[in-house]
Amino acid sequence: MNQSPNRNNRGQGYPPRTTRPNTNGQNMQRPPLTPQQMAARRAYIARRKREIRRNRIILGVACALILALLIFLITVIVRGIGAAIADGGETTDTNAPITDMLDSGNPPADTTPITDTQGNIITPGTAEVVLPAVQPDVDLSYEAMGFASDLKDFEKYMNPTEERDDYLILVNAQNAISAADKPDDLVEVTNTRTDREKQLMRKPAEKALQALYIEAHAQGMMSPDTPSGYPLSVTSAYRSYETQNYLFSSYVQKEMGNNPGWTKAQAEAKVETYSCRPGTSEHQTGLCIDMHTLSGADVSFANYEQATWLAENCWKFGYILRFPKDKVKETGISYEPWHFRFVGRYHAYQIWSQGLCLEEYIAQLNG
């Protein structure tokens, strides 16, 4: 039978419990403390309280610092993942009309109203870029472009002559390119947004893009007074087959995890509604970029003067708006006012002036 513990019989290793004060602050077995001892005790208790208070403050500050550090790290990681998704995960080039998930790691585009050049408040999500109707052929020479800046050194890139037809490659869900298709003339994109890893694209397209940015600056289109605080800049350019493959596979795994019981084919079908299979993204050509002024790609970009300016003038630099609003059926991609594709001025003008998309234009060329 166990004997209940006796507080006064705690074994030989313990000192007798003779120093605990009773409720009057007096020692139970020792004589009452002298006033000096009482004062010393009070001083000791006060000092201990101060120490405890100080330690609590130090602990609190340390916790706050650790919390701040954690928040900072999480922010950095989330932004990194967002940038990685943006850099590799544009999800537009599928065979179903979908919304581009580019920059999907970023928050939705800023909706702060801004005013256009006439002082009218622009409400994101309402306006659209309207492509012009068919126009007669015009002089496509450098002089005829009427640039406000000196872009002569870039003319051979904007308006290639000998290699005029070299940039008409069509990549979409029906026209995939292989894993081995990797451009050998990739260079860094000068106007990559500063919070992104330097983007790459093919040199002729990048040179033409440099010209576009010089002229955009001359036309007052490079103000940092934008929803994101970043001026018009490139958020994504070349993406490798491997990157796209990795992203697509990751999405499939995620879908299977979220939907137990789904087959791989079911998961892939779902992923195809927001991402493109490797080999079917135009970004693998190194001939296109995503550029806008928002924190993340969003159709509301179309409401800003930069989008309008780009849509109306990009052909002069050899670029086309690749996924126009009225060509969703033809391209299989939802409206992307931020995605521009280099084809050279001659073809860009034909496409723009006739109001075609690349699929229709190539079909027209093929008779």
Give the separation between CA 336 and CA 101, rounded to whole angstroms: 10
Nearer CB in complex with Zn ion: 33/84: 84
Nearer CB in complex with Zn ion: 271/289: 289
DSSP 93-132: -SSS-----TTTTSPPPP---EE-TTSPEE-TTT--PPPP
Q: Which residues contact 338 (CB under 8 A, 6 or more apart)?
A: 100, 102, 235, 290, 291, 292, 297, 301, 307
Give the separation between CA 20 and CA 50, rounded to whole angstroms: 22
**Candidate list 197, 336, 359, 360, residue with the active-site label:** 336
Q: Compute the least distance from the CB of residue 101 to Zn ion, in Å.
A: 10
- Alpha-carbon distances, residue 58 vs 44, 47, 49, 53, 83 (angstroms): 21, 16, 14, 9, 37
Q: Compute the least distance from the CB of residue 190 to Zn ion, in Å.
A: 18
Burial 344-360 (b: 16+ CB within 10 A, else e): bbbbbbbbbbebbbbbe
Q: Compute the least distance from the CB of residue 283 to Zn ion, in Å.
A: 6
Nearer CB in complex with Zn ion: 147/340: 340
Burial of residue 55 (number of CB atoms within 10 Å: 0-12, 13-18, 19+): exposed
Query: Helix 264-271 vs helix 241-258: angle between axes, to the nearest 10 degrees?
Result: 120
Q: Are strands 319-323 and 336-342 parallel, antiparallel or unpaired?
A: antiparallel
Nearer CB in complex with Zn ion: 159/331: 331
Stretch that binds Zn ion, among 25-33, 126-134, 271-279, 284-292 (CB under 5 A): 284-292
Question: SS3 for 236?
Answer: strand
- Alpha-carbon distances, residue 229 vs 77, 225, 235, 295 (angstroms): 21, 6, 14, 8
Chain residue at closest Cβ approach to Zn ion: 339
Residue among 97, 111, 89 at smallest CA distance from 226: 111
Of 85, 86, 89, 90, which one interacts with Zn ion (CB under 5 A)? 90
Number of residues that bind Zn ion (CB under 5 A): 3
Stretch that binds Zn ion, among 29-37, 65-73, 104-112, 338-346 (CB under 5 A): 338-346
Of 87, 290, 298, 305, which one interacts with Zn ion (CB under 5 A)? 290
Residue among 214, 193, 363 at smallest CA distance from 290: 193
Nearer CB in complex with Zn ion: 256/311: 311
Nearer CB in complex with Zn ion: 159/283: 283
**Tokens of residue 228, six digits:** 């994101």
| Residue 339 within binding range of Zn ion, rule CB under 5 A | yes
**Sign of the dihedral through C-alpha 24, 27, 29, 33:** negative
- Alpha-carbon distances, residue 194 vs 60, 197, 230 (angstroms): 36, 8, 8
- Helix or strand run (H / E) with residue 337: strand 336-342
Give the separation between CA 211 and CA 313, rounded to whole angstroms: 12
Stretch that binds Zn ion, among 200-208, 251-259, 334-342, 345-353 (CB under 5 A): 334-342
The yes-or-no answer on residue 360 being catalytic is: no
Nearer CB in complex with Zn ion: 99/149: 99
- Residues with active-site annotation: 336
**Contacts with Zn ion, residue ranges (CB under 5 A):** 90, 290, 339
